[in-house]
Amino acid sequence: MLELLGRLSLFLGGRYDWWQSRDGEVYDSNYLTSPTHYPTKTDGVFCPKAGLVLDIGRGYSLRSSIGRAFRAPSLIELYGTWYYYGSTWASNPELGPEDVLSLEVGMDKVFERGNIRFTFYYNKIYDCIQSVLVPEKSDPANWIYYYEYRNIAEASTKGVELSGELKLTEYLSIFSNYTYNLSKIDKYPTNPEYVGNKLARTPNHQVSWGFTFSHPKLFTAKVIGHYRGRSYDYITNTPETVLDAYTVCDVTVSRDITKYLKASLRARNIFDTETKDFYRYCQSPGAQIMFNVSYKF
């Protein structure tokens, strides 16, 4: 951090992202073919980031930042082909990483019992990874579809985020976050009909809210509600690929047993709400309960 003009501060940072996949293999059990082996893939990139923060007094501050981000394709995207009722969701071992230019501007307000944050963001995504319908391998008349992960040319997301936290008592606080997001395919030379469509699984509206109770001699409990708005499962944006909106609630309770030993209980989706936020044929796992004990040295 560098102080430039009294209340104006400059933040500089960066990281180097490196990834490698090896021993890649795809085997199609439908055709009983021999497994296909793929060579090791390696890539890396330096991701710089710079930001400015201006303290304008009375708890208000303005901030802006610009940076580069990098996302390597996941193992599922590279090698995880699977089938369902005659349709195929194919991996793509030839995928390259995504490269993202990120811009943010915002305002913060800090007061005695909490804070409020407002952010406008814009992300330009190059070589964006999306699951794409391949017409030449599909037969819609017989409900047979073939989807494959591909690097589409360019896409973008932009939106606003509003968040806040308020401390009600010494041990109890409430919080909330709202995001309005717009996504768009900007360039796609091989499928120009998709230009202007929304990216897959990027809803316009997302909301989270809840409260935290934390007492050092008792326990810490957090209750969080999540609302995820309507979106599309694929960049075709057709009616049959719509993912409906849903709301779920999670609860986490934890306690320090000793200085080094901690136990926690987490209940996800406690009302057993049906959710679909990936492939439209996949059912959610429903309510889940997990118990965890951790020890730190």
Secondary element (H or E) of residue 75: helix 75-79
The answer to whether residue 276 scores a pLDDT higher than 80 is no
Q: What is the pLDDT of residues 169-219, one digit of tens each?
A: 999 999 999 999 999 999 998 889 899 999 998 999 999 999 999 998 889
Q: What is the pLDDT of residue 209?
A: 97
**249: closest CA among 215, 224, 266, 227?**
224
Q: What is the pLDDT of residues 21-56, one digit of tens each?
A: 887 776 666 655 667 777 888 888 899 999 999 999
pLDDT above 70 covers a percentage of the chain that reads 93
Q: What is the pLDDT of residues 240-274, one digit of tens each?
A: 888 889 999 999 999 988 888 999 999 999 998 88
pTM of the predicted structure, to 2 decimals: 0.84
The answer to whether residue 65 scores a pLDDT higher than 90 is yes
Mean pLDDT of 83-104: 87
Q: What is the pLDDT of residue 33?
A: 62
Q: Which range among 14-28, 88-102, 107-121 has the greatest average pLDDT?
A: 107-121
Q: What is the pLDDT of residue 182?
A: 97
Question: Other CB atoms closer than 10 Å to residue 210's CB: what's the count?
Answer: 18
Range in 41-55, 74-88, 96-110 with the lowest mean pLDDT: 74-88
Confidence of residue 279 (pLDDT cuts 50, 70, 90): low
What value does the mean pLDDT of the chain take?
A: 88
Mean pLDDT of 50-68: 94
**183: closest CA among 236, 122, 135?**
122
Q: Tell which phi-psi region holds residue 133, choosing left (phi > 0), alpha (psi between -120 and 50) or beta.
A: beta
Secondary element (H or E) of residue 76: helix 75-79
- Residue 140 dihedral angles phi and psi, to the nearest 5°: -55, -30
Q: What is the pLDDT of residues 156-178, one digit of tens each?
A: 999 999 999 999 999 999 999 99
